[in-house]
Amino acid sequence: MKITIYSIGKTKESFVLLGETEYLKRLGPSAKIELKELGGKASESADPAETMLKEAEMLFGKLSPKDFLIVLDERGEELDSEGLSNYLSKKMTQGTSNFVFAIGGAWGFHESVKKRANLLFSLSKLTFPHQLARLFLIEQLYRAFSIMKGEPYHK
């Protein structure tokens, strides 16, 4: 099983990088996870529609038809930790082996990305910076795999 997390923009905050490193280390035996950053931060004066289209093109350039795309979106389906674990487990049982999670930029993703998605997934109704969303996603993936394995991390 392979998981790739694409995010728009760079993660620079050291505390975020430390958290990601810790959870990726813990996840090591369960799943291979790659973090990929696409593009830089959009300028405040950039046209949102044009920026979302460019970001969509960057993401589409990285995807293969066999990738199971899960797009983080504020209007996506909210799952609790056990629900996410069950969802991933079910998809793996059905033969899914390449999961791709995508975290958009300041304006989210273009509609074409949402249409390509196999799942629109919301971490919360709250809005998070993309750096923290990525950290929270990695932690939730660790939690999901801990639940699958019956480990005590999720109490």
Task: Please state, in angstroms and rounded to a whole number, the distance separating the CA atoms of residues 132 and 17.
Answer: 10
Compute the Cα dihedral for 134, 137, 143, 148 and give only its sign. negative
Asked if the structure places residue 82 within a domain, the reply is yes
Q: Classify residue 110: in a domain, yes or no.
A: yes
Residue 154: per-residue pLDDT: 67
For position 134, what pLDDT does the model report?
96
In a domain, 105, yes or no: yes
Note the pLDDT of residue 127.
Answer: 86
Beta partners for residue 120, in sequence order: 71
| Number of domains present in the structure of the chain | 1
Specify the pLDDT at position 132.
Answer: 95
Beta strands in 87-131 (DSSP E): 98-103, 119-122
In a domain, 20, yes or no: no
Residue 109 and residue 73: Cα distance in Å, rounded? Answer: 8
Residue-level pLDDT at 43: 64
User: Do the beta carbons of residue 5 and residue 137 sit within 8 Å?
Assistant: yes
Residue 89, φ and ψ in degrees, nearest 5 = -60, -45
Q: What is the pLDDT of residue 17?
A: 96
Domain span including residue 99: 1-8+52-149
Q: What's the pLDDT tens digit per position in 5-60?
A: 999 988 989 999 999 999 999 998 888 899 999 986 666 678 999 999 999 999 99
Residue 106: per-residue pLDDT = 87
Integer Cα distance of 153 and 118 in angstroms: 28
Domain containing 109 — which CATH number? 3.40.1280.10
pLDDT of residue 40: 66
**Is residue 100 classed as helix, strand or coil in its secondary structure?**
strand
38 lies in a domain? Answer: no
pLDDT value of position 59: 97
pLDDT for 44: 67
pLDDT in tens, 95-130: 999 999 999 998 999 999 999 999 999 999 988 888
Residue in this structure with the two tokens 């909210």, named with its chain if needed? 78
Report the C-alpha gap between 84 and 109 in whole angstroms.
22
Whether 112 is covered by a domain: the verdict is yes
Residue 154, domain member (yes or no)? no
Residue 44 resides in a domain: no
Are 34 and 5 spatial neighbours (Cβ–Cβ below 8 Å)?
yes
Summarised one tens digit per residue, pLDDT across range 56-104 is 999 999 999 999 999 999 999 999 999 999 999 999 999 999 999 999 9
- Which of 3, 1, 7, 2 has the alpha carbon at shortest distance from 105? 7
